[in-house]
């Protein structure tokens, strides 16, 4: 899949996912830019809307450098398409707290083992990751998940082989685009 096809798939995902979950798109403390403009402004809970992301390539590069890992194009496209307030299993990415989903799921042990955490499952029990072993062919980078409690058995400073982490991973989808498509079912 080309980068342009990825971007279009991700844009389509967000618009369909929002439509599917629109009745639940109500939260407290919605950033002003994301208010849908419906309801009483005095109410604590407000409806939010998708807004085009203003995240630049430089912002992504800064995040990558800070975390010490290069993101695949699919994740870059995901983060630069829309700001949204979906929680897990999408991972929140708000105008006032960009990259929150990635930061909330972050675990250096997983990165050392070749997995890029980007969100949690809907119940907040499993960390969802992009398996970078398939790079540079992103269509071969599976989406996996690991029980976060398994990671308590490891010391962040010790050298851990991929095999030790991989033994605890479950495949969720064949690739990132398939993962998003499955969320629409």
Question: For residue 24, what pLDDT is reported?
Answer: 87
Residue with tokens 């960009």: 98
Question: For residue 88, what pLDDT is reported?
Answer: 95
- Looking at the chain, how many residues does it have? 185
On average, the pLDDT of the chain sits at 93
For residue range 101-155, list pLDDT tens digits in order.
Answer: 999 999 999 999 999 999 999 999 999 999 999 999 999 999 999 999 999 888 7
| Section 57-66 average pLDDT | 95
The confidence band for 183, taking pLDDT boundaries of 50, 70 and 90, is: very high
Question: For residue 39, what pLDDT is reported?
Answer: 63
The confidence band for 169, taking pLDDT boundaries of 50, 70 and 90, is: very high
For residue range 70-94, list pLDDT tens digits in order.
Answer: 999 999 999 999 999 999 999 999 9
Contact 69, 60 (CB under 8 A): no
The confidence band for 38, taking pLDDT boundaries of 50, 70 and 90, is: low
Q: Which residues contact 125 (CB under 8 A, 6 or more apart)?
A: 147, 148
pTM: 0.92
Tell me which DSSP letter residue 111 carries: H
CA distances from 47 to 32, 60, 82, 137 (A): 11, 28, 16, 38
- Looking at the chain, the number of H-run helices and the number of E-run strands are 7, 8
End-to-end alpha carbon distance in the chain: 21
The confidence band for 40, taking pLDDT boundaries of 50, 70 and 90, is: low
Q: Which residues contact 22 (CB under 8 A, 6 or more apart)?
A: none
Distance CA 58, CA 40 (A): 38
């Amino acid at each position: 899949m080309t980068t342009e096809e990825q971007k279009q798939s991700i844009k389509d995902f967000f618009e369909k996912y929002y439509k599917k979950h629109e009745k639940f798109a109500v939260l407290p403390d919605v950033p002003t830019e994301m208010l849908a403009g419906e309801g009483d402004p005095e109410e604590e809970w407000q409806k939010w809307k998708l807004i085009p992301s203003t995240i630049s390539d430089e912002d992504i590069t800064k995040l990558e450098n800070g975390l010490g890992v290069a993101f695949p194009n699919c994740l870059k496209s995901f983060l630069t398409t829309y700001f949204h307030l979906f929680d897990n299993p999408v991972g929140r990415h708000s105008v006032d707290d960009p990259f929150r989903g990635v930061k909330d799921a972050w675990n250096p042990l997983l990165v050392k083992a070749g997995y890029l955490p980007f969100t949690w499952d809907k119940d907040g029990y499993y960390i969802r990751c992009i398996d970078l072993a398939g790079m540079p062919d992103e269509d071969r980078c599976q989406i996996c998940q690991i029980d976060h409690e398994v990671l308590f058995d490891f010391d962040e400073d010790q050298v851990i082989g991929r095999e030790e982490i991989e033994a605890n991973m479950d495949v969720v989808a064949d690739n990132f685009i398939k993962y998003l498509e499955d969320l629409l079912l």
